[in-house]
Chains A and B, each alone.
Chain A
């Protein structure tokens, strides 16, 4: 933990920075620290925001002043290896791949990669993608770990409206659009799962530090899950991640 830096982000928050690169080990430290902080008795913590390589800690200076908070956070860092951190969770996200409506760009992605559409689907569904952080819009996940062989440049002209649930590729990134939004990602499929639903008790499904594993479904399964979501909720399959993934 020698490289950890505490950066001042004003008078009601600090940024705890664990490194200066995007890497799974650094992100795992952030997750561990965030869990340790939530279990600690440090008072006055308002909310925390995990990002690629740092944890932003918002606090109430009326409850805990800067100097004391620094002491406590540094103390917590020192004890990090003594705290048991549960394994990350893997969310299994069903995707209907391809087709003019759901995945209009799958054909182009396959041609660009010199593969068949089936091969692209096989590669896209074979990885557990780490959710490094959420941002940009409610529920938008920044995922890492996509196979470079299916990396595809963004569309030259972005679409004005991409439906919620669309699964896309942009460069070597992949992800799901949680709400209808404009965008230039290559759309390869769509999930009937609602990544964001304001009416739910937990409005946003994915959390930083979890993994997403996509699996292919057909139209029948898509309609069934979509109907369950519309009726109040489909329980996404989830399981603890095994060491080393896969």
Chain B
């Protein structure tokens, strides 16, 4: 009833839509870096949108299926194969007992999400199956997967109804420069006009300092009026921190719940699917949009997901 990890890849963790309601106690939200792609994988695999998936980073894992099940992989293209033969992303695939899922190399993007029909047999901790590595909470023993780990399926199947319809077009397209749309604030008034102008007009480069906590960028320094320190307050997913040195850090799933640096803007939720696929060397530009516009885009994404979910009704 399970999969065995033959090779864990670079960083493979169990994640769902995050641990909600515990930030007031200092517990990070965690959760998938791209909630939309994870939801799509789950819909294709016949699961609820928020079911826990395996989030794979750059070099995907090698998994042996001790029991057959249906899977779907979305997000970036990390080159999935089954028993050595390429299999498509964004499509439900029936895997037989004994087969081995292996990722060859990243072809587009950085993170892939594997959904398993019926979900993974991972205990729920504080309302979530997400792994919060720093505090060793949730997921598989609170850590990333390692060689020899065995994860059970809760309700595996040999096939799903309408298998031929469970196909979507891959969404992530590599670009020379990515645009991330942002809502300005909460501390945009701590920056000079020319600092704001720098932030919105210049190109920033993703550095190798990019983990589940945050993504450090390199580029022209963003000028503060006085400095980059504030009395600590809450931090949203996608918040763009600018410490006194002036180079931005985008805060992600495993971010600390509070922090004492100025935050110039926040990446809009609809663009997390791009943010999650960035890797070292990628170029980024920021474009500001009104909050009402950002919410309109998010709601449109959500209705599209609801429409797709009807295949499981």
Contact = CB atoms under 8 A, between A and B. Distances in A.
A51 B233 contact: yes
Interface in A108-145: 133-140, 142
Contacts of A173: none
Contact of B26 (A11, A46, A138): A138
A37 to B, nearest CB: 12
B268 A11 contact: yes
Interface in B162-180: none
Contacts of B13: none
A9 B236 contact: yes
Main secondary structure of the interface of B (DSSP, over half): mixed
Contact of A21 (B27, B231, B299, B302): B231
A207 interface: yes
B239 interface: yes
Interface string B235-252: 011110000000000000
Given A51-B258, A135-B256, A7 B232 contact: no
Interface stretch (B17-25, B61-69, B72-80, B89-97): B17-25
Contact of A203 (B25, B186, B292, B299): B25
Contacts of A20: 231
Nearest to A180: B136
Interface in B1-58: 20-27
Contacts of A62: 298-299, 302
B263 interface: yes
B101 to A, nearest CB: 31
Nearest to B137: A198
A142 B21 CA distance: 19
A65 interface: yes
Interface in A1-40: 7-13, 15, 17, 20-22
A42 B231 CA distance: 28
Interface in A197-242: 198, 203-204, 207-208
A65 B295 contact: yes
Given A51-B258, A66-B295, A9 B20 contact: no
Contacts of A138: 22, 25-27, 135, 137
A160 interface: no
A81 B20 CA distance: 30
A134 B26 contact: yes
A137 B292 contact: no
A192 interface: no
Contact of B299 (A54, A61, A204, A208): A61
Nearest to B186: A7
A56 interface: yes
A208 B183 CA distance: 29
Given A49-B258, A65-B292, A138-B137, A9 B25 contact: no
B269 A9 contact: no
Given A49-B258, A62-B299, A140 B269 contact: no
A47 interface: yes
A66 B24 contact: no
B222 interface: no
Contacts of A10: 183, 236-239, 266-269, 291, 294
A53 B233 contact: yes
B224 to A, nearest CB: 16
Nearest to A51: B233
18 contacts: A7-B185, A10-B238, A10-B239, A11-B268, A11-B298, A20-B231, A49-B23, A49-B257, A56-B234, A65-B292, A134-B25, A135-B258, A138-B26, A138-B27, A179-B135, A198-B125, A203-B22, A204-B26
Interface of B: 20-27, 125-126, 134-135, 137, 183-187, 231-234, 236-239, 256-258, 263, 266-269, 291-292, 294-295, 298-299, 302
